[in-house]
Structure 1
Amino acid sequence: MSKDLTGQRLGHYKIDGVLGRGGMSVMYRATDTRLGRKVALKVMGEHITGDAEFRERFVDEARNTSAIDHANIVPLYDFGEVDGMLYIAMRLVDGSDLATLIKDGPISPKRALELLSQVAEALDMLHERGLVHLDLKPANVLVTSRESVHEHVYLADFGLTRRGATGHRTASGDFLGSPTYAAPEHLRGEPVDGRTDQYALSCMLFACLTGRPPFQGQVQEVIQGHLGAEPPPATALVVLPGGIDEVLRGGMSKSPDKRFGNCKELVAAARAALGPAAGDTPPPSRQAAPVAPMAPVAPMSGPQPVQYGPPAPPGPPHGYRQYQQPPRPLPPPGNDPVRLRPPIPAGSTAFATKSGGSAKWIVPVLAGVALVVIVVIFVVMANSIGGSSGSGTESTTSETSPYNNNHLPTSVPTR
């Protein structure tokens, strides 16, 4: 890569500082000393400029680009070569780029559609002229709000080529472009056309809605993903209508013939799929989808059913309850007493026992029976004694006794 040229001059351009660096070039903020205006000066890397085929392409594409006049394409002012270094001077846009806008997460679907619809307009115009961008990525989409009420997009940093040409590669086989957003035919060095840019635009739409490109990892993993893997569903990452997955799969189809007719059709299909979901707020992450709070439940009086199971996660604040009825109540652990139903009135058959309960009431019953027998005997004896004393005469008994009569008196004297 070329050394930092800050503070030096390149032809009639005074280089003021670095705007950004890429794999093929360095973008500088510079001053055109002839016209006194600020420009963005793209200086190609030395490892690229030594390739004769690339130098021929560079000159041809720069001439085609300078003739383009579109509201969403950065105007190209000048191009040339100084001391073996190739450069392009273009308009300096005061703003940010799409890569910066999505680096911390997705943007709102509405904003994504508004920005990418302008990109689609510019791309379709290029394709109608037989040109292909071939380096479409968020860093090359410049966004400014200083020129109009709404955000305005400029498509920049072209790797333009004519329709029917093959993907950008140097004579040594180096790939020229960004593999993160490159179409399969571009990566394989096959013929490219406007559908190649549409694939990259679909990847950018995926990144705007989810906050990440469709394929991640090391360079070879990303390339293999584009060549043979299906893109992950956007709805698995963020909360969006399911129809958007079909749109993204169509735009990122491995076969160019199965993609949309042009880039504007892709954006229109995405807008229709998102529908009312294309709001002003970024889509929430699927893992962080909010849980609706439980409705308040009035407190219940009396004993409540107790159920045992694994500890429940922390619930909503006090005053909110969540009830779950299992198929069967689980038995209580250990011997701890647990009331499983409300109290039952005394005398209910629910208190009856089948066995082992007689020990609690047989003693009082037997004691009562014994007391009644004693009282009856006492009354009989008292009546018998009272009858004998009331006659005033001797009496004998003819009853036989089981005892020996010789030892017992036969009469009771009275005085």
Structure 2
Amino acid sequence: MPTVSVNTHFPGYEILGELGRSNARVLKARHVATGDLVAIKHFTLGTDADTLRRFQQESAIMTSIRHPNVVKVREVQLDMPLPFIVMEWVEGGDLRSLIRQGALDVPTVLRLGQQMASAFKAIHPEGILHRDIKPENILYRPLASGELHFLLTDFGVARLREQSQTLTGQSLLTYEYASPEQFDNPRGVGVATDYYSLGVVLYECLTGRVPFAMTDTAGIATFMTQVLRTPPPALLLPSGQPLPPSLNTLVNWMLVKDPAERLSDVSELTVLLGQASVEQLQAGRAGTRPAPAVPRAQTMAAPVAGSQTPGYAEPATEDEPPRRSSGTGGWIAFIVAVGLLIGFGMYYLKQRKPAQSAARSTPTVVEDTLDTTAADTMAAPYDTYSDETTPTDSTEQPSESVVSPDTTAAPARDSTAVADSTSTEN
């Protein structure tokens, strides 16, 4: 049988090379008319009907999403001998190629988390579950600033929530990134599964390894037992540097076994990532090393108020925004305040002279009483401010765990977490 050139199956495109091959083949190509570089994904001839159905579903899902952190689909051809979809070209590569070079730095991991959270915000409200988030399915594009722009791709085993709860695609999962419920309750998979997989990705980016790995000595049964029951190893950087506390909190919260207890809300994820970014920036400005983050098995306790982690400032809340560093504006305000005080003093002295004789005849006890009252009145607001901003060890802790909406730590599940969360609230 004569060999058919692959170019005959993709009219209008010049094939430049192969990018990858797993369940499908991905080619690098150039659009002949425009000269644009693209990526073409296709299955082989004679692909079974179930695979083609999933391929059709993937193309429909990706075509419906228009978001800067999701790879765009340019063209869909499902009636060809070789059905294919044409996607935008992402010149950087995939996240796996970065991890092979070593663990990523914290700022890059924070940007990755923020951009994937943005992608989740686009797909999950539409009822789309990715179900296969892993480094190979996250692409990056280098920016002129030196930062990386990340994009989520490959919705080959994605599912719409309103579809029937089937096991389709279960055999295509990458075990190291699959959530516990994908093993023991695949029909009950929800958005929490995507958060777990992203948690594994973030963990691997920071440490260079996944929490649980299948090895030649540990079979599938051992691996599944670890995923279902064993707490993840402590999140420690290869460099020995500690993590921003909020980053340690969110990664461990995303790896919670029970999907009902897992971090699976994009708003909470975004807040924690934002706090971790502030902590990282403040530690850098202070020129100090942050104290080691405290790992946990299933829950992370909130930071204790008044026992701030060295190297990190307490996370700012809406009631107390981050303070700006003093500069020219501070000197101007100081000079204006001094001028106002001098003017007021001169006016006060002029008004006081005619009444000096009367003031001298005023009993000393009355003057002391007035001065004492004035001092108490002026001191009151300063005392209140001091109580709010400088927690003391003598502050009494309430008996119940109270977590404000602004706190970003995971819900407390033990006595330590209760004490910590109440301290944060106070």
Whether TM exceeds 0.5 here: the answer is: yes
Distance 1:45 1:226 in 2: 34
Residues 190-212 of structure 1: CA deviation (Å, up to 9, x unaligned): 23222111111111110111111
1:39 aligns with 2:38: yes
Q: State the TM-score, normalized to the length of structure 1.
A: 0.58
Which residue is equivalent to 2:27?
Answer: 28
Which residue is equivalent to 1:65?
Answer: 62
State the one-letter code of the partner of 2:92. Answer: G
Distance 2:166 2:266 in 1: 21
Q: For residues 5-154 of structure 1, what are the structure 2 equivalents within 5 Å?
A: 8-12=7-11, 13-22=13-22, 24-33=23-32, 35-44=34-43, 49-50=47-48, 52-81=49-78, 84-146=81-143, 150-154=147-151
Identity of aligned residues (%): 29
Distance 2:162 2:7 in 1: 39
Which residue is equivalent to 1:240?
Answer: 242
Which residue is equivalent to 2:179?
Answer: 183
Which residue is equivalent to 1:209?
Answer: 206
Corresponding residue to 2:161 among 145, 160, 163: 163
State the one-letter code of the partner of 1:145. Answer: P
| Conserved 8 A contact 1:104-1:211 | no
Q: For residues 284-303 of structure 1, what are the structure 2 equivalents within 5 Å?
A: none
| Conserved 8 A contact 1:117-1:264 | no
Cα drift, residue 105 of structure 1: 2.0
| Conserved 8 A contact 2:195-2:264 | no
Residues 333-372 of structure 1: CA deviation (Å, up to 9, x unaligned): xxxxxxxxxxxxxxxxxxxxxxxxxxxxxxxxxxxxxxxx
State the one-letter code of the partner of 1:9. Answer: T
Distance 2:208 2:236 in 1: 12
Distance 1:243 1:116 in 2: 13
Residues 197-254 of structure 1: CA deviation (Å, up to 9, x unaligned): 1111111110111111111133725444323322111138644246654432321122
| Conserved 8 A contact 2:43-2:82 | yes
| Conserved 8 A contact 1:124-1:194 | no
Number of paired residues?
Answer: 276
Residues 249-270 of structure 1: CA deviation (Å, up to 9, x unaligned): 3211222111124245235325
State the one-letter code of the partner of 1:240. Answer: P
Q: 1:113–1:261: structure 2 CA closer, same or farther, 3 Å change rule?
A: same
State the one-letter code of the partner of 2:261. Answer: K
Q: For residues 211-360 of structure 1, what are the structure 2 equivalents within 5 Å?
A: 211-218=208-215, 220=220, 221-235=222-236, 238-241=240-243, 244-270=247-273, 272=275, 276-277=279-280
SS at match of 2:37: strand
Distance 1:109 1:236 in 2: 9
Distance 1:147 1:243 in 2: 29
Return 234-243 or 253-262, whichever deviates more.
234-243
Q: 1:6–1:200: structure 2 CA closer, same or farther, 3 Å change rule?
A: farther
Which residue is equivalent to 2:297?
Answer: none
Distance 1:78 1:177 in 2: 26
Distance 2:103 2:74 in 1: 34
State the one-letter code of the partner of 2:36. Answer: R
Distance 2:95 2:192 in 1: 21
Q: 1:206–1:168: structure 2 CA closer, same or farther, 3 Å change rule?
A: farther
SS at match of 2:27: strand
Q: State the TM-score, normalized to the length of structure 2.
A: 0.56
| Conserved 8 A contact 1:122-1:155 | yes
SS at match of 1:8: helix
Which residue is equivalent to 1:397?
Answer: none
State the one-letter code of the partner of 1:131. Answer: I
Corresponding residue to 1:199 among 196, 199, 206: 196
Instruction: Considering fraction of residues, name the structure with more helix.
Output: 2
